[in-house]
Copies of this chain bind each other. A is one copy, B any other.
Amino acid sequence: MLNFDPEKLKKDFPIFNQEINGRPLIYLDNGATTQKPNQVINEIRRYNETSHGNPHRGAHQLSIRATEEYDNAKEKVKSFINAKSIEEIIFTRNTTESLNLIAYSYGMEFIKENDEIVIAISEHHSNIIPWQKVAKDKNAILKYMYLDEEGRIPIDEIESKITSKTKLVSIAHMSNVLGTIHPIREIIERAHELGAVVVVDGAQSTPHIKVDVQDLNADFYVFSGHKMLAPMGIGVLYGKKELLENMPPFLTGGDMIEYVYEQDATFAPLPFKFEAGTQNVEGAIGLGAAIDYLQSVGLNEIEKYEKFLVEYALNKILDIPYVNIQGPKDLSMRGGIISFTIDDVHPHDISTILDSYGVAVRAGHHCAQPLMRYLELPATARASFYLYNTKEDIDQFIEGIKNVRKWLGYGS
Q: Which residues of A contact B (CB under 8 A)?
A: 14-15, 17-18, 20-21, 25, 27, 29, 32-33, 35-36, 41, 44-45, 48-50, 52-54, 57-63, 93-97, 99-100, 104, 121, 124-130, 132-133, 135, 142, 144, 224, 226, 231-234, 251-255, 257, 259-265, 276-283, 348, 351-352, 354-355, 359-364, 367, 369-370, 373
Contacts of A60 in B (CB 8 A): 20, 29, 351, 354-355, 359-362
Q: If the complex has contacts A50-B15, A50-B18, A278-B33, are A352 and B59 also in contact, measured as CB distance less than 8 A?
A: yes
Contact, CB under 8 Å: A59 / B224: no
Contact, CB under 8 Å: B29 / A54: yes
List the 8 shortest-distance A-B pairs measured between CB atoms, nearest first.
Answer: A96-B277, A126-B253, A233-B280, A233-B233, A32-B54, A60-B360, A129-B252, A96-B253
Contacts of A369 in B (CB 8 A): 257, 259-261
* Residue of B whose beta carbon sits closest to that of A103: B252
Contacts of A363 in B (CB 8 A): 58-59
Contacts of A352 in B (CB 8 A): 59
The listed residue with most B CB atoms (<10 A of its CB), out of A18, A129, A261, is A129
Q: What are 15 inter-chain pairs, A to B, with CB distance below 8 A? A: A15-B50, A20-B61, A21-B61, A29-B63, A58-B364, A59-B352, A60-B354, A93-B277, A128-B260, A129-B252, A133-B252, A226-B278, A232-B279, A233-B233, A280-B283
Contact, CB under 8 Å: A348 / B232: no
Bound: A234/B233 CA distance, A: 8
* Residue of B whose beta carbon sits closest to that of A32: B54
Contact, CB under 8 Å: B58 / A253: no
Contact, CB under 8 Å: A32 / B360: no
Bound: A61/B355 CA distance, A: 7
Contact, CB under 8 Å: A278 / B94: yes
Contact, CB under 8 Å: B257 / A125: yes
Contact, CB under 8 Å: B260 / A15: no
Per DSSP, are chain A's interface residues mostly helix, strand or loop, or mixed?
mixed
Bound: A63/B231 CA distance, A: 16
Contact, CB under 8 Å: B233 / A360: no
Q: Which listed residue (B49, B278, B351) contacts A15, Cβ 8 A?
A: B49
Contacts of A41 in B (CB 8 A): 45, 48-49
Bound: A299/B265 CA distance, A: 37
Bound: A124/B253 CA distance, A: 8
Number of copies: 2
Nearest CB in chain B: distance from A272 CB, A: 12
Bound: A104/B105 CA distance, A: 12
Contact, CB under 8 Å: B57 / A35: no
Contact, CB under 8 Å: B362 / A58: yes
Nearest CB in chain B: distance from A192 CB, A: 26
Q: If the complex has contacts A142-B263, A360-B61, are A93 and B53 also in contact, measured as CB distance less than 8 A?
A: no
* Residue of B whose beta carbon sits closest to that of A98: B277
Contact, CB under 8 Å: A224 / B278: yes
Q: If the complex has contacts A125-B254, A253-B99, A254-B367, are A360 and B63 also in contact, measured as CB distance less than 8 A?
A: yes
16 further A-B contacts with Cβ under 8 Å, apart from A33-B54, A57-B367, A132-B265, are A15-B48, A15-B52, A20-B60, A32-B278, A33-B52, A33-B278, A41-B48, A41-B49, A121-B262, A125-B252, A125-B257, A142-B262, A232-B281, A255-B367, A260-B370, A261-B369
Q: Which listed residue (B29, B130, B231, B364) contacts A53, Cβ 8 A?
A: B29
